[in-house]
Each structure stands twice: as structure tokens, then as C-alpha cells.
A and B are shown apart, each in its own frame.
Chain A
Amino acid sequence: MIDVQHLSRRFGPHLAVDDISFRLERGEVVGFLGPNGAGKTTTMRMLTGFLPPSGGTVRVDGFDVLKDSLAVRARIGYLPESVPLYRELRVQEMLWFQGRLRGLSRAEARRRTGVVLERVGLAERARSLIGCLSKGQRQRVGLAVALLPEPEVLVLDEPTSGLDPLQRLEVRALIRELSKERTVLLSSHILPEIEATCPRVIILQRGHIAADGTQTELVARLGGGGFVRLELARPVELERARTDLAALSGVHSVEAQLLADGNAACEVRGEGDLRGALGALAHARGWTVRELSWQRPTLEKLFTHIAFELEHEHPAGSVRAAPPSAEGAA
């Protein structure tokens, strides 16, 4: 559905997006993840045709974003980060305007207005002035505006920013529901957001794709998944414990350190869940176990990992990172 090839964009001397390539299949839901200034918004603006790329191509449903700009724009529902709305209009008027812009008939625009307002939970505010709505409500109106033309592709730039936790849950649910019918590309710098909604994640860092894949793939890349956390009450002989743990079969690595309160914390990585073996060992050694838990790997970990990695390995950001799965998708 979306095919991005060697896309780059510079603002004067500053390279905002540097030669990125990825593909979105129909019905896929992809999260754009990255710190502020990583190039998420710029990439999305290029996808929607607002910014022309400095290099590379973007195709949406086979249409080039530069050559068939109008065809591309007709297929994309876009919610910019700033949630642009005419404050002096009523909610329904804003939606009707969007309907007219998209060439919908009057009746069709009105019908869809009812539907999308119902969907974003603003049906009873249809006649309110947009200027009088709260930030969260405006965000949802923006979403409604993007949804109104029933586009094949939804591009949502930070759709949940400024929402309270409850509204955020609602929006997430909405996006999950939408993802059943259409291609969704959403960006966020909030990890749980992406984790909750997007099976596939593209991590941007300094204009590069730092990672691209399903959450499991990415997490696996991070080093084989989870680890067991074992916390032992003092007094602990740290070195002894470490060697004992490392000696267990199936254990690959052990990180052990003394905590400030004198207790010891160990992270044990190995093949699968080693809690049973560790428990038995603790019992055998007579350790007082404060905690024995299986730690699932998280995107956050991956993200901080990648950010850290890039920061240190390629400080200038001029050398392209080579995420293996990104190449595979292209």
C-alpha cells in the first residue's frame, strides 16, 4: 500500500530524513517510534504530499506522491500533529467542509459525519464550536476529520498526545478497531502507545530507520528475549553466587550487583524460563530469596538500547545503521 524508497529530506543544511525505505502492506498497522526530532513528522508529511521529498520516492497504492499528488491525497486520511481545525466552526461544519473538500455529496457527508462522530464518541458535541472544546475533544474531532473520507490509509501523527489516560485508552481501542479495515501508520514517542496498538514498529533515530519489524522480532533482536530476575537478601557473597548461577546448565550470562541496601540483584539470561532451576539452586544454597521473576522483554528496552547504541557508535549519525529486518521488508 505504501512503498517508500530511499526517501530523504533536507531542510537547508540539516538532513531531517536520510535515505529511508520501508513498505506497508494493505491492512497493516505500523507504529513510527522515535524521540522528538527523529524525522517522524517529516516522513509523514512527505507521505501525505505536504512536503516534497529531496530524494527518493513515495508510492501510495501505486501512485507517486509527487506525480499523482491528488490521487495520493485522496487515499490518505491525515491527522497532523497540530490537529488543525477551524476554531470558529462547529464540529459538524468542520466535518461537512472535509466532506466537500473530498467531493462527497451533501447527504453522504452528513451520514458519515454522524458515523464518525459516534465512533470518536463526540456525537453529542456535533453542534459545539470547536474553539470551546477541550484539547482531548479536539484531538478526537481531528481524528474524525481524518476518518470522514473513509480513506484506505490513515496517517496519524501523535494521535494521543494531550489526552488523559482514559481517553488514550479509548483512542487506542478505536485505532485497533480501524486497523481491521485499513492501513494505519501512526507515530508516537510514547512506547506503551505503540506497544498496545501496533504489531509492527519502525524505530526512527536521527533520520534513519534504526529498527523495523514486529515487536517479537525486534525484542528477539535485543538478545533472545527475557531474563530471570533474582534478588537475594543480605548477607550475600556476590562472587560466589555469580559463579554458582553461571554454572547452572542453560545459563548464558549472569549480571549480578550489590544493591544499596546490601541485597544482591542478579539478571540471569539463558534458554527459556529458568526460574525453576534457579529456585532449586537458591534452596540448595540456602539463599533468602526476595524476588524470583521472569522479566518479559519490552520495546522500551529495545528503544533505549538502540538510542544508546546510535548515540555512541555513530555520533554524527552520518553512517547508516543497518537494521537487518528493514532490508528484508524492502
Chain B
Amino acid sequence: MSAPGRFTRTAIGLRAVLAAVLAVGAAALAVDVSGWRYARLDLTARQSNTLDPATIDVIDKLPEPVTVDVFLRGLKAPYAGVCFAAQTRLQEFLLVVEGARRGRIELAFHDASDFEATQERQRELATEGTNKVVLSCGARRAELELFGELFLMDWGNPSSEEQVRYLAGQGIPGVVDPRTWRGGTFRPAEIAEFRGEELFTQALLKVSSGEAPKAYFAKGHGEPSLDGIEPSDLSRLKSVLERDGFEVAEWDPLRSPSVPGDCDVLALIGAQQPYQESTRTAVKTWVEAGGRLLGAPHLEDVEHKLAGSTASLLSELGLAVRPGVICQPLVGLGGEKVESDSRCTLLWIDERGLQPSHPLTEPLRLRRRRLQFTSTPSFDGGGYQTDSGLVLPLVTSPADSWRDLAPFDFSCNAAKGERRERYTLVAVKQFGSAKAADGSVSQGRVLGVASAFFFDNQSLDTNRDFALNAFNWLAAREYRISVRALEKTESYLDFARGNAKPILTYTLWLGLPGLCAGIGLLLFLRRRN
């Protein structure tokens, strides 16, 4: 009699287990299926979770899913807080990206706690260091630094030398320089800006597109070194370009007179000696056949009207360089304008000086990027048609600037014919379409930047975005699309004013619990018999 009883029990148990398995399976299936087609509704006040249509478009067009490896590590106090905040913001952003188009982006967070696995993955990706994001798609990679790229940081002022050395030892670009640190009171580090949306979109484009474009820098005529670390050298420009996916190489016209065949962008920056006739002809022919040239003459070259120099080459191509240094009044402590000071040659160009509607400058203008020029000559006005193409001014100096002519006195001297007006600092010229050897149609482009100092290590911090945009635009990689930044709504209580803090504290600690207890007690009194 007991045998069938036990059997029934087993049967019922089995049925329950089967039901459990079925339920779990059905739920897992529902979870999977729900990921195929889904709708997202952003309810935040500022649409903080809705990616720009341009970004969505890029993600939709990805040929295959992109893996995003995130290597994060915390910083020590007093930078732990700001580091954590940045990492959290990044994580939130990446989750938004992942959620926007599931299956296209695969996130992998690498915790510093699992050192071996992290290292292994880094070896696979051929990268090193932490606090960076690596996008990979097949063999293609793009790296984004947490600090300095994704987050523009104001590192404040450290309170001790130990902190300075710690920061510098973290390999973070743009931190406080131990050599220039002068002590002073502590100022905490702050996040100045999060640029995740735009940089991420670019990085996506990069890993999903084809081969790296090649930028050649001319050498052998007194150009600043691509590897030197002096303030006037170009090593930072080189590393920025390389990180952006460019292949950077040098071209010595004295050895190979013709422009290299695989050259996508030719940069003639800061030559102090004239180029040979043959070189200039080669460059001009190359540009007219669809080549892309970036020219930035050295100040000396312009002032001495060096024959055959970069400046004259640019003039021959339609971008006429005028001697004289563009100056701008200094603003004194009391707001008064000061002139006759050599510092007047340092120009800050804000968004008013950037040409709207040009793909190169428009994104910068929208993001209110500032540019910095030191001791720069200028171009002829622009906006005119030359016989071979249209010249367009891209960057102009402020309206109260003047062209200070030699001998320099750094003041606007009408007697010398100096006038206050906008002077063109960067101009661009597009040539008509030309058919390249491989049959593809290409338009020659010349971008003239009036001063070679614009690209040197000292100025690149400020001018980095412009430089990158310039090279990308020249290389015709026009995915430098404007991407709206996702802004989190932040709403701060003002504890300093009035009695906000006591009101909040008392209401939270006494008011609400008191209300709750009161309702509860009332109920109990009423429910008593």
C-alpha cells in the first residue's frame, strides 16, 4: 500500500519540478525575445538618455557589432571622488549607448580587481594603461582616454608635492606639471566637460571604416620636429593624430621630389627655409589633381617675404599671406583695455570668430571651443572666387584686433595704416574636381593656417580639436559630425541660503516618520474594540 503512495508523491514532485523548469524557461525566453524588438521612452526632463540621431545613425550602420572594453581604475584621495564621478558618468553613458541599439554594441567592463584577466584582454587588444575605453571591431581599434579626452578636466591645485607627483605618475594628460607647480592653496579637481557622445561616435566610425589615412609632414627645411618635446615641437600633434587613427610619416622633398603616392594629407608646417622650385611645382600639381594640403607658414618666413617659402606657396595657391602680426587689446584687471604690450600678440578666438556652416568649424563653434594664436600673420580677406576655386575664411580675429606692422609697437597706429577689423587667420580653398589615377573623383583642398605656432606642443592643448578636425576634413573623413552632448539634469539645493538644510533635515527625520507613526496610531486607536 505504501508503494503507490510514494509513487504519487514522486509524480507530484516531478510535476512541480517540471512546472518550475517550464516557468523559468518561459521567462528566460520572454527576456530574450523582448530584446529583439523593443521601444524606449526617455522621460527625463532634458532627454539625457536619447542619443543624437547622428550617433544612432552611425550605430545603425555599423557593419558588425563593436566591442567596447572599458578599463577603469580609481584614483587616490583627494582625486577619488572626481574619478569615481567621471567613471560613473561614463558608465551611464555607455549603458545608454548599449540600450539604444542592443546587440550592436557589446560592453565589457574590466575591473582592476581581476588583474590577470584585465591584462590578458589588454594584451589581446595591444593596449596598456587604465582609465581608457577601447573600441574594437575585427582588427580595428580606437582608444579613448578617460581623462583629457572623454572628460576634460580641471585638475585644480594640489596641496602637496606628493599629490602632484602622484597625478603626474598616473600618465594622465594635462595634469599639473611638477616642474611648474608653485604650491598655494588646495583647489579640488573638477570635471570641466564630458565629451563622450561625440568622441564615442567618432571612434565608432573609425573602427567601422576602412584603412588609416596617411599624413605626411614635410621635413628638411627647418620645420619643427615631430618627435621633439620642446614647446615649439609637434610631438603632441603627432600623437593626437595617431591616436585618431592617422598614420603619420615624414616626407623629405630633397630626397624624393614628388609627393608620396599614398599621401592623404600633406602638412607643410613651420618651414624656415624656402622649398625648391621643383618641390613647389610638385605640391601645386598634386593639389590641383585632388591633393589635400595643410600649410602653416613660420612668422619669420612671412615677415621676410622669403621667396619660395610656405607663405609664397600658399599665395600661389590663392591664399595670400600678409605680413604684420595680428594683435588684440589686453583686458586689464579693471576691465580696461590695454595696448602697447607684447602680450597683445596672444589671440583668443571664441565662437564668434569661427565660420558657421563649415563642417570643419561648425562643431567647434557649437561647443564654444576657443582657439589660441600667438604672433600670427593673416590672410587676405577671403570669401572671394579665384580662377581655380573658392577661398573661404574659417577663423577670423576679433573685431577690435589690428594688424601690427613692423616695427612692432603693439598698438593700433593709424599713421602706419593699421586698422581695427576682422582678419582672416585660417582660410580654406577648394579646387574643382579632378580625376585621380584610380578613377575616383577628388577635390583638391588647401587649408591655410596663418601661423605654424598654432600646431606646436604649447598651443595644442587648446587647439587640439581644431587640428584634428582640420586633418580629418582634409583627409575627407567628414564624419566629424556635430553630436549633441547628453546632459544630466542637475539640480542643486542651496544649503547656504536661508534655512533649507534644517527644514530638510527636520522634515525627513521627524516630519515624515511622525506622519507615518501618527496615521498608524490613529488607525490602531480606531481599530480597538
Contact = CB atoms under 8 A, between A and B. Distances in A.
Q: Do chains A and B touch in the complex (CB under 8 A)?
A: yes
Interface of A: 10-15, 54, 88, 128-129, 132
Contacts of B528: 129
B5 A10 contact: yes
B529 interface: yes
Given A13-B5, A13-B6, A129-B529, 6 more contacts: A11-B5, A12-B5, A12-B9, A15-B1, A54-B8, A129-B528
Contacts of B9: 12
- Place the interface of chain B in its size category: 10 to 19
A10 B4 CA distance: 10
B113 interface: no
Interface string B3-22: 01110110000000000000
Interface in B1-54: 1-2, 4-6, 8-9
Contacts of A129: 527-529
A14 B9 CA distance: 12
Contacts of A13: 1-2, 5-6
Interface majority SS on A: helix, strand, loop or mixed? Answer: mixed
Interface string B432-447: 0000000000000000
Contacts of A12: 2, 5-6, 9
Nearest to A14: B5
17 contacts: A10-B4, A10-B8, A11-B5, A12-B2, A12-B5, A12-B6, A12-B9, A13-B1, A13-B2, A13-B5, A14-B5, A15-B1, A88-B527, A128-B529, A129-B527, A129-B529, A132-B529
Contacts of A54: 8
A315 to B, nearest CB: 15
Nearest to B527: A129
A157 to B, nearest CB: 25
A304 to B, nearest CB: 28
A129 B529 CA distance: 6
A129 B524 CA distance: 12
Interface string B319-343: 0000000000000000000000000
A72 to B, nearest CB: 22
A10 B8 CA distance: 10
A2 B414 CA distance: 119
Contacts of A11: 5
Contacts of B527: 88, 129
A132 B400 CA distance: 92
Contacts of B8: 10, 54
A97 to B, nearest CB: 16
A113 to B, nearest CB: 18
Contacts of B2: 12-13
A234 B529 CA distance: 65
A125 to B, nearest CB: 10
